[in-house]
Structure 1
Amino acid sequence: MAANPLFGWDLTFKTVEKDVKRKSDILIAFIHWNLTKRGFRSIGIGDERTLTGEEEKTELLPSGWNDKDNYTLRYVLDEKLYILHGINTEGNLIINLLRSEDLTVSNLAVNIEDSIHAMNGNIDKLIPNHKDLMYNIKRDLIDTITQRPTTTVQTQTTRDNTNDRRLESDPLRVPPRPLPCVNPDNHDLWELPSAQLPNVGRSDLDPFAPGTGGMIFNPFGPRRDVENPGLGIPGGLPRGSVPPGARFDPFGPPPGAAPPPGRRPPPDADHFPPPGFNDHMFM
């Protein structure tokens, strides 16, 4: 059989019924009962924010709890001091629950006339919407302050640093890859590339670059591979033009051979010019 969620309310109200002066008193008594159901214990009235350790803890409302227009009640939960403030303003009761340890505050606002319909009788007559009110007290006033994490920023920072160290020491962690074509040890972007890299394309991008190194690689230029002169081409073929072991018939005169009689020297060695033709093309 499920427990009655209103168990204990009748006893609480009977102990304060003779002291009730106004409808807001019933609201404070109802909030007090909800606090005690969740472990809070009353230690008196006032707004003193320190504990002496000699306070008497009780489930009853202290004497003088409603002597003033506004309410100030002290509670203890898990050896921590809480102060309940209730302020009457324009037909509403504004309730604040302050945790003295770190001054954390939760809030709840209740319209008195809409919530309290009678000054005596059972709960359905006193507070017809008591189920909604109990839910709001638990969610907005109690859970908000008792379940709020108290982890400090320093603790979070330490935890983040610990995670970073774990990532650095993880043997399975893949290190970040450097950007392509960037020498991480070279911070001067205007410095010429390493000697192992062909200086191709630099003169097209850098107006201060030397006169060589355009986007089109010249296989017969000064950067040709002199150790592999090629087959039959003045200056040699570029590396990789002929696959290893492939059959290749050389074309053109062999390297070092003199041009045949009547031929003009390279690069027009394979063509006979028309008789008397001379356009000075290669001057």
Structure 2
Amino acid sequence: MAGLEVLFASAAPTITCAQDALVCFLHWEVVTHGYYGLGAGDQPGPSDKKSELLPAEWNSNKDLYVLRYESKDGSRKLLVKAVTVENSMIINVLECGSQQVSDLTLNLNDYIDSEHLVDFHRAYKNSEELRSRIVSGIITPIHEHWDKASVSPHREFPPATAREVDPLRIHPHHPHTTIPLLEPSRVGVAVVLVHLTTFTSSPTAACHTCLPIIPSCLRCRRGGMIVDPLRSGFPRALIDPSSGLPNRLPPGAVPPGARFDPFGPIGTSPSGPNPDHLPPPGYDDMYL
């Protein structure tokens, strides 16, 4: 505890009670962790100066002690308040930049001998425990918060762009996406078909283990459906869009290749009466 005895000797004429001795110990602990004392009170004053000694009028109020500190590199400022409540002292420390707060409550009788305040070697009791409690309850929380803020001052990940968060965006299809390899000896044609329709829209994008057993008629096909009725290779009957109409549609009414549902049964001419289409019994009875 080098330096504490010198500090105590310099402040001994003004130490008159147990809380004075405890605040002197607290001041020494803050200074040993890289701070200078600036002055007493909440606001800076014209007489403020960086010093390792206690400022003037530091104990003018025995119920409330207010001290200000600044780190040696000038990056941090602390506001320390110690309030006396019966035989206890409540210490509150505010780091002015980050607004980080830490507090500690100490029992005066556990660490100060009020009967021997003039003797440094007898004034303090359990000094190592007192020092450990001040460090763990006040100094460490302030420094840990500061270290985290200095290491990651910004967000770890940049904010998502509008394109990334668009809920209506359809992601592009990548036909050459890697898919799990299958053992050729255990793969059947049915499994390959499921494999293809599940992982890719084109058989040519399948893994190399599937290609040797895919039927040749499937390898040259494109599209997501393995069995496509429109690309099966069999001739399809022409659909007359005028079916079911009394007159034929004018030329160009249905563009070539357009999807069109005819008005009536598929055929090349308007359909006439069908002997199978008999009216149901009593169809003309209005009371049915």
Q: TM-score, normalised on structure 1? A: 0.53
Q: Return the alpha-carbon distance in structure 1 between the equivalents of residues 225 and 91 of structure 2.
A: 78
Q: Return the alpha-carbon distance in structure 1 between the equivalents of residues 160 and 141 of structure 2.
A: 26
* Contact 1:47 1:74 (C-alpha < 8 Å) held by counterparts: yes
* Contact 1:51 1:81 (C-alpha < 8 Å) held by counterparts: no
Q: Which amino acid aligns with 1:91?
A: N
After superposition, where does 1:217-256 map in structure 2 within 5 Å?
none
Deviation of the 1:122 alpha carbon: 3.0
What residue ranges of structure 1 are gaps of 5+ in the alignment? 1-5, 162-174, 186-192, 199-222, 224-283
Query: How many correspondences in the alignment?
Result: 175
* Contact 2:39 2:45 (C-alpha < 8 Å) held by counterparts: no
3-state SS of 2:149 partner? coil
Q: Return the alpha-carbon distance in structure 1 between the equivalents of residues 105 and 40 of structure 2.
A: 21
> What's the counterpart of residue 252 of structure 1?
none
> What's the counterpart of residue 60 of structure 2?
67
Q: Return the alpha-carbon distance in structure 1 between the equivalents of residues 48 and 33 of structure 2.
A: 19
Q: Is 1:13 aligned to 2:43, yes or no? A: no
Q: Which amino acid aligns with 2:100?
A: T
* Contact 2:200 2:224 (C-alpha < 8 Å) held by counterparts: no
> What's the counterpart of residue 226 of structure 2?
196
3-state SS of 1:88 partner? strand
> Counting helix residues as a fraction of each chain, which structure ranks higher?
2
The verdict on how the C-alpha distance between 1:157 and 1:12 changes in structure 2, with shifts beyond 3 A counting, is: same
The verdict on how the C-alpha distance between 1:184 and 1:94 changes in structure 2, with shifts beyond 3 A counting, is: farther
- Correspondence for 2:84 among 63, 88, 95: 88
Q: Return the alpha-carbon distance in structure 1 between the equivalents of residues 126 and 160 of structure 2.
A: 47
Q: Which amino acid aligns with 1:84?
A: V
The verdict on how the C-alpha distance between 1:194 and 1:147 changes in structure 2, with shifts beyond 3 A counting, is: closer
| 1:220-244 deviation digits (Å, cap 9, x = unpaired) | xxx9xxxxxxxxxxxxxxxxxxxxx
Deviation of the 1:134 alpha carbon: 0.7
Q: Is 1:137 aligned to 2:138, yes or no? A: no
Q: Return the alpha-carbon distance in structure 1 between the equivalents of residues 124 and 54 of structure 2.
A: 19
> What's the counterpart of residue 126 of structure 1?
123
> What's the counterpart of residue 46 of structure 1?
41
Deviation of the 1:176 alpha carbon: 8.2
What residue ranges of structure 2 are gaps of 5+ in the alignment? 162-176, 181-193, 202-222, 233-288
Q: CA RMSD in A?
A: 3.7
- Correspondence for 1:23 among 13, 18, 21: 18
- Correspondence for 1:36 among 7, 31, 50: 31
- Correspondence for 1:57 among 47, 50, 58: 50
Deviation of the 1:127 alpha carbon: 1.9
Q: Which amino acid aligns with 1:30?
A: F
Q: Which amino acid aligns with 1:102?
A: S
Q: Return the alpha-carbon distance in structure 1 between the equivalents of residues 48 and 200 of structure 2.
A: 68
More divergent stretch after superposition (24-33 vs 54-63): 54-63
- Correspondence for 1:103 among 99, 106, 128: 99
More divergent stretch after superposition (111-120 vs 64-73): 111-120
The verdict on how the C-alpha distance between 1:38 and 1:155 changes in structure 2, with shifts beyond 3 A counting, is: same
| 1:75-111 deviation digits (Å, cap 9, x = unpaired) | 1103122111101123211111111112111211101
The verdict on how the C-alpha distance between 1:176 and 1:16 changes in structure 2, with shifts beyond 3 A counting, is: farther
